Amino acid sequence: MKNENSYSRIIAGAMTWGNWGKKMSTTEMAELINHCKDHGLSSFDHADIYGGYGTEEEFGKALTHSGAKRESIQLISKCGIQYICEARENKVKHYDYSKEYIIWSAEESLRKLQTDYLDLFLLHRPSPLMQPEEIAEAISQLAQSGKIKEFGVSNFTDSQIALIETAVPVRANQVEFSITSSDVMFDGTLDDCMIHKRKAMAWSPLGGYFRGENEQNSRIEAVIKELQPKYQLNASQLLLAWILKHPADVHPVVGTTNPNRLADSLKAAEIEMDLEDWFLLHTASMGEKVP
């Protein structure tokens, strides 16, 4: 599984396209898929659990309806979380990384998405009961059969990745990363991505900035207003540009379903934020100067 940087700089997250959000129709999803493609967002991020295990299937129908060529887009999905919902008879939320379940889940994602392969297949969250050799057997079988191109993880620490890599290479890690949630810059997670040349992706890249008023957001807002005339970007774009400045080459997963906001997000990749401006925002977030 070769790690090719073929993903769009901004990735469109599909978590809220279905029942967990906008509940878009097939036609609406197809239009949004084509809108994303037309504006350079060719990568789409999924997980089996989204929409109570239903969004992948809805997206798959829309993808067929859109007429988009499979080779023109990249599909990412995740497995492992056994969620309590109508679609599953689970007594408790848990994780399943048995060989049989990983393979079954990947094949279910392929069926629902109406595709022959996933560009990237992730273990959604770490489990205390993970067996690296068993995971490796599943991933090897999926890769050899051409059903996945790359294998990675999501929300894993560097030590958890090291555990998995005793048996199989890990090409990517998708983690929470934003100006209001930046622990991965300091706990070794992004360092690990750089050291081992893993693809780094950030979910919830705008963090809590738009989720209410507090002292941290007020400090960040003041700096954003100071920087906007210089960069001619809105707040969301500046926050994405802040992430894109990190040398781990992080790919933000943008969760909006608003066509204009999706297109606007790519403008953040067109600028290089100045060093001191990056630290102005970082300092505002932390509430104190760097050590």
Looking only at the bridges linking them, the beta strands covering 81-82 and 94-95 are antiparallel
Question: Which residue is listed with tokens 């609406």?
Answer: 28
Q: How many CB atoms lie within 10 A of CB 101?
A: 16
Q: Are 220 and 255 in contact (CB under 8 A)?
A: no
Q: Is 197 left (phi over 0), alpha (psi -120 to 50) or beta?
A: left
Q: What's the longest Cα–Cα distance across the chain?
A: 55
Q: Are 218 and 199 in contact (CB under 8 A)?
A: no
The catalytic residue among 50, 53, 209, 231 is 50
Please give the structure tokens belonging to residue 186: 């300091």
The runs of H, that is alpha helices, within the chain are: 26-38, 50-53, 55-66, 99-113, 132-144, 158-164, 189-195, 215-231, 235-244, 259-265, 275-286
User: What are the beta bridge partners of residue 254?
Assistant: 12
**Dihedral sign, CA of 129, 130, 135, 136?**
negative
Q: Are 46 and 14 in contact (CB under 8 A)?
A: yes
The answer to whether residue 50 is catalytic is yes
Distance CA 109, CA 27 (A): 21
Catalytic residues: 50
